[in-house]
Amino acid sequence: MPPETPAAPDVDPRTLVDVLRARAAAEPDRRMFTYLGEDQEVAASLTTAELDRRARAIAAELRECAEPGDRALLHYGPGLEFVSAFFGCLYAGLIAVPVAPLEAGRRDIRNKRLPAIARSATPRVVMSTAASLLDVGPELKATEGLEDAERFASDLVDVGRAASWEDPAADPSRPAYLQYSSGSTGAPKGVVLTHRAVLSNLALIHENGSRDAGDGRTGPPAVLWLPLFHDMGLVNGILQPLFAGYDVTLMSPLSFVHRPFTWLWEITRAGRALSVAPNFAFDLCVRRVTERQRARLDLSGWELAAVGAEPVRADTLDRFCAAFGPVGFRREVFFPCYGLAESTVMVSGGPAGREPVVRAFDAGSLARSRVRSATPGAPSRALVGCGQIQPTMRVVVVDPATGEVAAPDEVGEVLVAGDSVGSGYWNAPDQDEFTFRARVPGHGDQDFLRTGDLGFVLDGQLFITGRRKDVIILDGLNYYPHDVEHTAAGSHPAVRERFCCAFSVDDGQSEGLVVLAEIAGPLPAQGDGEPEDGDAEEVRRAIRRAVTAEHGVPVRDVVLLRAGSLPFTSSGKVKRLECRERYLADRFAARPAV
């Protein structure tokens, strides 16, 4: 049974401020947000009235150091302080800029991204907890664009300041926040999301993922571990619960990564629940949840399991159902969906309560950008439908080379139009024009968003085949790197799951396929940390055989790397462009000879 449609606010909200104000007025004592600590016990909670009061107090104090329209950088670790700070920005008329929290003294991807975001957003204020601001003070001071920004400790604000709050009367067409991309193909870009766009997407998610069960029950609570500074976590963990009227239990992402069982256990404890996660999370549960732990679970109350943010794999759905079906998980609970930050978060999904649409297509035809059903005995590729397209969104598939509308049996670039689409990129007019102002023959003066994703629409479902920038073209055929990486990762037990990268290089005569693969035991190491030649050659042969057998393409070079060598974005996506550049410059760690 799909989750029923819960009660929305009685008033028609024009802004996100209206959403919280209406919810707090209607249900002031409802404890809507709960955060679990590392011990899985309640560490903090907020009623709607408490959140409204905290937001008003923070806003009143923010107005003493910033003006409406100024940007506020939100630098928070896991917890509920982010929730209050985010709405404090909106209540003050500031534009919130969520970022991944830094760690003092480290030079990881988050610290490298921050200067680019600061130069783009030019924030007036940096917000965090007092302890965090003290901890990363030197890093913030050394970051170009943040030297003179006001430091604001939201946890020190006296809630008594709420009485002096003045409603900024935000225009629905004004920006609510900037959602910076993860930067997998270049510098991070800030998507400008207005109140109107976000509200439109919240309504879209509500329509796609809910259906009235007719028994008067409220919607199930959500259990989420996604980071709140990313689009999936922000929308599904904060905004959608307020809009749709369901409670949410939040966990640290590290709690899930270190012990995936905790996510499923909280769903069990909730009785009824919905949740959202990328494809890898379901794979991780299959691999890391033990039989003894599985026996303690009861997932029969899990009503919707949205899966997106990365390619949704049919074999992942199959393995999860096989592993957790015996403890109550039902295949129709899966809710594959597609979206991107440039369209707030969701473009397509559902319908809820039905088994995912999985179709097998001829692999050779897909390599030629054609859509043909698989035939017995021929190489095939299983694709998962990423949901239906609601009337509020317009999806058009075009030929990437000509911009003309593709035929129904052709793979092309997915273009999107609708009220959920962002206004553009902040402070990046050239990229803004190209990405958000595409025109399609036959569609008049309608602006379309170029998603950069390739796919097609079949029987009302949107199928995504890969990223346009990442496609590997060899001998005129298209190969999708995530498929090659998936094959390489499963070719030998020594290869780390999800730690492979595939791309092509030109040696002056032809393009060839390169596969990078991180190794984590059981290969013995020499003095310099490299795998021994004999064992390394066995792994390389296994990768070559598997890729050639599965995709029909030879591998020119296989590079085995020590764990931690591959660069990833803050959202966990491998940076293929950087990998290619480092490979060509021979800047990866020394490797065994081929």
Task: Select the more confidently predicted residue: 478 or 243.
Answer: 243
Q: Is the pLDDT at 530 greater than 50, yes or no?
A: no
pLDDT band at 169 (very low <50, low <70, confident <90, very high): confident
Q: At what angle do helices 314-324 and 279-288 cross, to 10 degrees?
A: 40
Interatomic CA distance for residues 102 and 543, integer angstroms: 36
- State which amino acid sits at residue 297: L
For residue range 411-459, list pLDDT tens digits in order.
999 999 999 999 999 998 888 889 999 999 999 999 999 998 999 999 9
DSSP 8-state code for residue 589: P
For residue range 67-82, list pLDDT tens digits in order.
999 999 999 999 999 9
- Any residues with CB less than 8 A from the CB of 508 and at least 6 apart, and which? none
In the block, which residue shows the tokens 């397209």? Answer: 389
Interatomic CA distance for residues 61 and 125, integer angstroms: 12
Interatomic CA distance for residues 14 and 23, integer angstroms: 14
Instruction: Transcribe 494-528 into DSSP letters.
Output: TEEEEEEEEEEEE-SS-EEEEEEEEE-SSS-B-TT
DSSP 8-state code for residue 530: P
85-94, 315-324, 392-401, 533-542: lowest mean pLDDT where? 533-542
In the block, which residue shows the tokens 């049919």? Answer: 314
Residue 304, CB half-sphere, CA atoms under 13 Å: how many?
Answer: 28
Q: Is the pLDDT at 287 greater than 70, yes or no?
A: yes
In the block, which residue shows the tokens 């060509």? Answer: 584
Which whole number is the average pLDDT over 222-244? 95
For residue range 9-25, list pLDDT tens digits in order.
445 889 999 999 999 99
Domains annotated for the chain, with CATH where assigned, are 16-36+43-213 (3.40.50.980), 357-467 (2.30.38.10), 472-584 (3.30.300.30)
Task: Select the more confidently predicted residue: 80 or 104.
Answer: 80
Q: Is the pLDDT at 480 greater than 60, yes or no?
A: yes
Q: Is the pLDDT at 211 greater than 80, yes or no?
A: no
Interatomic CA distance for residues 456 and 464, integer angstroms: 7
SS3 19: helix
Cα–Cα distances (Å) from 91 to 13, 52, 205, 317, in that order, read: 14, 9, 24, 41
pLDDT band at 109 (very low <50, low <70, confident <90, very high): very low
Interatomic CA distance for residues 256 and 461, integer angstroms: 31
In the chain, the percentage of residues whose pLDDT exceeds 90 is 61
DSSP 8-state code for residue 291: H
Interatomic CA distance for residues 263 and 253, integer angstroms: 10
Sign of CA dihedral 458, 461, 463, 468: positive
With contact defined as beta carbons under 8 Å apart, do 374 and 360 qualify?
A: yes
Instruction: Transcribe 213-254 into DSSP letters.
Output: -SS-PPPPPEEE-S-TTSHHHHIIIIIHHHHHT--EEE--HH
pLDDT band at 506 (very low <50, low <70, confident <90, very high): confident
Closest by CA to 91, choosing from 119, 127, 63, 113, is 63
DSSP 8-state code for residue 477: E
Exposed, middle or buried by CB within 10 Å (0-12, 13-18, 19+), for 160? exposed
**pLDDT reported for residue 584:** 81
Q: Are strands 95-99 and 71-75 parallel, antiparallel or unpaired?
A: parallel
Q: In degrees rounded to 5, what are phi and psi of residue 467? A: -85, 135
For residue range 253-284, list pLDDT tens digits in order.
999 989 999 999 999 999 999 999 999 899 99
With contact defined as beta carbons under 8 Å apart, do 157 and 57 qualify?
A: yes
Instruction: Transcribe 419-459 into DSSP letters.
Output: TTS-SEETT-HHHHHHHH-B--TTSTT--BEEEEEEEEEET
Interatomic CA distance for residues 179 and 195, integer angstroms: 13
With contact defined as beta carbons under 8 Å apart, do 434 and 388 qualify?
A: no
pLDDT band at 509 (very low <50, low <70, confident <90, very high): low
**pLDDT reported for residue 550:** 81
Instruction: Transcribe 34-86 into DSSP letters.
Output: EEE-TTSSEEEEEEHHHHHHHHHHHHHHHTTT--TT-EEEEE--SSSHHHHHH
Residue 589 region by backbone torsions, left for phi larger than 0, else alpha for psi between -120 and 50, else beta: beta
With contact defined as beta carbons under 8 Å apart, do 73 and 123 qualify?
A: yes
Tokens of 283: 């794979």
For residue range 466-476, list pLDDT tens digits in order.
887 777 777 66
Q: Count other Cβ atoms within 10 Å, centred on residue 518.
A: 21
DSSP 8-state code for residue 95: E
- Rounded to two decimals, what is the model's pTM? 0.84
Q: Kindly report whether the peptide bond that precedes residue 13 is cis, defined as omega within 30 degrees of 0.
A: no
Interatomic CA distance for residues 491 and 544, integer angstroms: 9
> End-to-end distance of the chain based on CA atoms, in angstroms?
54
Task: Select the more confidently predicted residue: 430 or 299.
Answer: 299
